[in-house]
Amino acid sequence: MSKNPLIRVMRFLFFAVVVRAVILVALGLTVRHRERLPKDGPAVLAANHNSNLDALALMSLMPLKLLPKLRPVAAVDYFFTSKARGWFVTHIIGIIPVVRGSARKGVNPLVACEEALDRGEILVLFPEGSRGDPEKLGRLKTGIGHLACARPDVPIIPVYMHGLGKALPKGSSLLVPFNCTVNVGEPLHGTGSYNAFMKAFEARITALAAEDKHPDWD
Amino acid sequence: MTRLFGLPEHVVYATAGVWALLIAATLLVLVLRWRKPGHYDELVSRTASWWWMIGAFTFAIAVSETVAIVFLAFISYLALKEYLSLIPTRRIDRGLLLFAYLAIPIQYYWAAIDWYNMFLVFVPVWLFLFFPALMAFRGETRGFLSAVGTLSWGLMLTVFCLSHMAMLLVSGEVHNPVAGGVGLLFFLVVLTQFNDVAQYTWGKLLGRHKVTPQVSPKKTWEGLVGGVLTTVALAAVIGPYLTPMDVLWSALAGLVLGVAGFLGDITISGMKRDLGVKDTGGLIPGHGGILDRVDSLTYAAPAFFHFFRYFFTP
């Protein structure tokens, strides 16, 4: 992320004013178990993915003083389609870019994430990978499990969100106000095997999803 | 009427009275918590929320009429958003729902310019006709009837009914030499909210016989009657001070407000039962969502507005 003070101020203002106005005032979040959110880094917020607003909503749950440590993890191929877009997501959103499919070429795609955790940063990560069908939980990718096992001390906080997929779903640029609920889960650690972690994580996300009754949307 | 800080003098003193009551209630709650720590957490967060709500309302009416109207419109926005987020909706109607939100600034604009006839027909006539036709044009007939029904009811309740508060504020000005439109708005809002608290308190103290066991099992006849009588008594005291109504008319207005508030409350409860939710949202800690707070006003605002208009405007 940029060391340039001007860019850091722009990032702060963007999140303090624009993001909070849209997410907290225009849409509105109902947060359950807010006390389970990490007080400081390193930590990983791992949530289901329905909308481009997901990362912004998760980031607005955290106090602004932690903003410099907040880093959403996002795919290079989706966000770096133009120079301006690439600049914006790198410097203002502050993403850690991940190259999809690089594991098959023998490269660890999560090196940058592990380094960020070692610096005490807080990652915002979507284990499903892409947004998929709005308001449906897709199949989890392997990244979250590998990251958890590589850094077993780091708490992984499962989060289930509902509503943003109605407000701004994939394929639409029209924002329609809907309330969003955010259910924060108890932290998990990748201390056991990879499989055990993935099973525990999926169970916890599914349990969080079942905490509320969500209205039909089809 | 004499003005103080730009507000009618009587409204300023009545506002001070509300704050005094809030401070007294807060002290009582703090003493309760101090004597039995951990037992009154819900009551504490409820009281803290009252500080925010009474603070916002005081600010809105104190700054200017325009700020007050924007504030009331924002309450409609929050209520409509909460409603649309709770009910089943069709994916195809997503864009159309954005138009539904647009109804709010338009409806409150009619109130702001005191165009009573348009205010009265815009939602129940024009929007009532417009949205079903728009849905028909979109071509999706599956779930058409429930989409039309839920949207129309939601717009009536959260936009049309609640906007009567703004209309009372604007149109009441010339008909209330005692404390202006803001005096009437204050009378309506404070008594309706007071009535909620009074019914809850009487119900907690004496509640035995359920009124609506299927819909809202916590509502009792003792709470309803005790709450309404308390509201009637308070209305009789503050009515002559804030409105052109004398003691008897004020008491009657208190009866209208108390009963209408109860009906609004159980109507939203019926909706919540059907949807299988306990609260309409989590916006106001200790209270639930915005609809949980303004449910009584959805009935009390139009009921009091038309009561006052029928009997006290030429």
Residue-range domain boundaries for chain B: 66-171
- Residue in A181, A215, A217 nearest the CB of B91: A217
CA distance A208 to A45: 14
CB A187 within 8 A of CB A156: yes
CA distance B69 to B258: 24
Q: Which residues of A touch B98 (CB under 8 A)?
A: 174, 176
Question: What's the count of helices (H) and strands (E) in chain B, helices before strands?
Answer: 12, 2
Residue A174 backbone phi and psi in degrees, to 5: -100, 115
- A188-204 burial by CB neighbour count: b if 16+ within 10 A, else e? bebeeeeeebbebbbeb
CB A98 within 8 A of CB A151: no
Beta strand ranges found along A54-179 (DSSP E): 70-75, 96-98, 122-125, 156-162
Pair of tokens at residue B303: 């009921």
Looking at the complex, report in whole angstroms how far the Cα of residue A213 sits from the nearest Cα belonging to chain B: 7
Q: Is A35 on the interface with B (CB under 8 A)?
A: no
ipTM tops 0.90: no
DSSP state of A85: H
* B16, containing H or E segment: helix B9-35
> What length does chain A have?
218
Tell me if the domain spanning A5-209 has CATH number 3.40.1130.10.
Answer: yes
CB B137 within 8 A of CB B129: no
CA distance B261 to B27: 27
Tens of pLDDT, residues B48-106: 999 999 999 999 999 999 999 999 999 999 999 999 999 999 989 999 999 999 999 99
CB B6 within 8 A of CB B62: yes
Pair of tokens at residue A184: 């924060």
pLDDT band at B192, cuts 50/70/90?
Answer: very high
In this prediction, residues B279-291 reach a mean pLDDT of 87
- Residue in B77, B91, B276 nearest the CB of A213: B276
CA distance B20 to B25: 9
Going by C-alpha positions, the residue among B57, B21, B11, B68 that lies closest to residue B197 is B21
Question: In this predicted structure, what is the pLDDT of residue A134?
Answer: 63
Question: In this predicted structure, what is the pLDDT of residue A135?
Answer: 67
Question: In this predicted structure, what is the pLDDT of residue B166?
Answer: 97
Residue A97, classed as helix, strand or coil, is strand
In this prediction, residues A133-146 reach a mean pLDDT of 74
Question: In this predicted structure, what is the pLDDT of residue A146?
Answer: 86
3-state helix, strand, coil in chain B (%, to 5): 80, 5, 20
Percent of chain A whose predicted confidence (pLDDT) is above 90: 49
Question: In this predicted structure, what is the pLDDT of residue B215?
Answer: 87
CA distance A127 to A138: 9
- To test the contact with chain B by mutation, choose from A24, A164, A179 the residue with the greatest count of B C-beta atoms within 10 A, namely A179
CA distance A114 to A98: 12
Looking at the complex, report in whole angstroms how far the Cα of residue B249 sits from the nearest Cα belonging to chain A: 40
Going by C-alpha positions, the residue among B84, B66, B95, B109 that lies closest to residue B291 is B84
Looking at the complex, report in whole angstroms how far the Cα of residue B94 sits from the nearest Cα belonging to chain A: 7
